[in-house]
Amino acid sequence: MARPENDDFLRALLREPTTRTPVWLMRQAGRYLPEYCETRKRAGSFLELCKTPSLACEVTLQPLARYDLDAAILFSDILTIPDAMGLGLYFSDGEGPKFERPLREEWAIRDLAAPDPYDHLRYVLDAVAEIRRALNNSVPLIGFSGSPFTLACYMVEGGSSDDFRTVKTMLYDRPDLLHRVLEVNAEAVTRYLNAQIECGVQAVQIFDTWGGALSHAAFREFSLAYIERVIEGLTKTRDGERVPCIVFTKGGGQWLEAIAACGCDAVGLDWTTHLGEARHRVGEKVALQGNMDPIALFASPEAVAREATRVLESFGGGMTGHVFNLGHGIHQHTPPDNVAVLVETVHRYVRK
């Protein structure tokens, strides 16, 4: 299988020259798009949307129909893995994701097992195949998973949390139990990403959304070590092409060198790190992805263009290896027209 017609995103991840800076946006399909809200209503719920491949395919393509984006990202959620493990994922209105059976008891942790993605997560793999057919090799498709630790946060807390009190208490009181959860999660994530790769995704991103909530010492032991283990087990090439892996740890800027050494091809950065300084810190080791503050998209179109240009300039000239993105997912109340301004600004920019 040849590379897609527009392969700027893959080229940038591999630090090959590109004609323009490629751009995609974390959570680019979602509630800020009226057409997404319409499809979600038709699906009945967010989970039904995820579990119906034709609808997941439809919403994956929606942002690409509106904007000249350089990659598509599979429409799904990181919580499909714990759902497949039997924790009972549900969404209560306005409260975000929840689990019917959070992982608290020692016996439940001993019983936890990595699901077979071809069985319990078949709907995700079917969506991948359908999206690849629909994209018709125009742009690459990104697959993803949560990091073992970020998944454990939701599994042990039973939902979102402000302070991660339950999972961190386990970390300090019973590190053996948390390590056991993380081992199973690492196995589950590895199998899941490899299945996505086998079914057609051309790059993968590991979302370590909550790694930045850990102490300096705990980050390596409880998050990065398991990301490393996942990457070790990943399929590196498919049909003769490298399948690049991006690691995004929100709040991970201070650990950049360590993250860059975990075996990934690119590191995603939030908006608190200077791209040019990050580039000097990692040298030729990895590409960088990021890192505009998603809230900047609420400002005037002129301010959006100015901020995007500032981010592009901060990466610096004379080097390849920048994928433009936001520093975290796009906010649900973002004005859609400002996203068009952002994408055009990035594509028109000529690197000095």
Number of residues engaging ligand 1CP in binding (CB under 6 A): 20
44 in contact with ligand 1CP (CB under 6 A)? no
**Residue numbers 104-163 binding ligand 1CP by CB under 6 A:** 144, 160
Catalytic, out of 68, 77, 126, 293: 77
Tokens coding 131: 């999206």
Q: Shortest gap between Cβ of 24 and ligand 1CP (angstroms)? A: 9
- As a whole number of angstroms, the distance between CA 196 and CA 79 comes to 15
Beta strands in the chain (DSSP E): 72-73, 89-92, 96-99, 141-146, 203-208, 237-238, 241-242, 245-249, 266-268, 287-292, 322-326
339 in contact with ligand 1CP (CB under 6 A)? no
90 in contact with ligand 1CP (CB under 6 A)? no
Q: Which residue has the tokens 């109340």?
A: 333
Q: Which is nearer to ligand 1CP, 29 or 269 (CB)?
A: 29
Torsion of Cα atoms, 249 then 244 then 18 then 21, to 10°? -30
DSSP string, 9-70: HHHHHTT---SS--B--TT-SSTTSHHHHHHHHHHSSHHHHHH-HHHHHHHHHHHHHHS--S
Please, are residues 143 and 88 in contact by the beta-carbon 8 Å criterion?
no
* Sole binder of ligand 1CP in the list 97, 252, 294, 321 (CB under 6 A): 97
29 in contact with ligand 1CP (CB under 6 A)? yes
Please, are residues 171 and 232 in contact by the beta-carbon 8 Å criterion?
no
Q: Which is nearer to ligand 1CP, 160 or 300 (CB)?
A: 160
**Residue numbers 233-252 binding ligand 1CP by CB under 6 A:** none
26 in contact with ligand 1CP (CB under 6 A)? yes
Alpha carbon distances (Å) from 82 to 130, 189, 192: 24, 10, 12
Q: Shortest gap between Cβ of 181 and ligand 1CP (angstroms)? A: 17
User: Is 40 labeled as catalytic in the residue annotation?
Assistant: yes
Q: Which is nearer to ligand 1CP, 34 or 111 (CB)?
A: 34
Catalytic, out of 11, 15, 27, 132: 27
Question: What are the residues facing 145 on neighbouring strands?
Answer: 206
SS3 255: helix
Tokens coding 96: 């975000």
What is the C-alpha end-to-end distance of the chain, expressed in Å?
34
Q: Which is nearer to ligand 1CP, 160 or 215 (CB)?
A: 160
204 in contact with ligand 1CP (CB under 6 A)? no
79 in contact with ligand 1CP (CB under 6 A)? yes
Catalytic, out of 67, 154, 192, 226: 154
Q: Shortest gap between Cβ of 326 and ligand 1CP (angstroms)? A: 10
- As a whole number of angstroms, the distance between CA 74 and CA 203 comes to 11
SS3 82: helix
- As a whole number of angstroms, the distance between CA 321 and CA 205 comes to 16
Whether the bond into 291 is cis, omega within 30 of 0: yes
What does residue 147 show for φ and ψ, rounded to 5 degrees?
-75, 160
Q: Which is nearer to ligand 1CP, 160 or 169 (CB)?
A: 160
User: Is 27 labeled as catalytic in the residue annotation?
Assistant: yes
Binding piece for ligand 1CP, criterion CB under 6 A, among 28-36, 252-260, 272-280, 295-303: 28-36
Catalytic, out of 11, 15, 40, 132: 40
185 in contact with ligand 1CP (CB under 6 A)? no
Q: Shortest gap between Cβ of 278 and ligand 1CP (angstroms)? A: 19
Q: Which residues are catalytic?
A: 27, 31, 40, 77, 154
Residues near ligand 1CP (CB under 6 A)? 26-31, 40, 46, 73, 75, 77-79, 96-97, 144, 160, 207, 209, 329
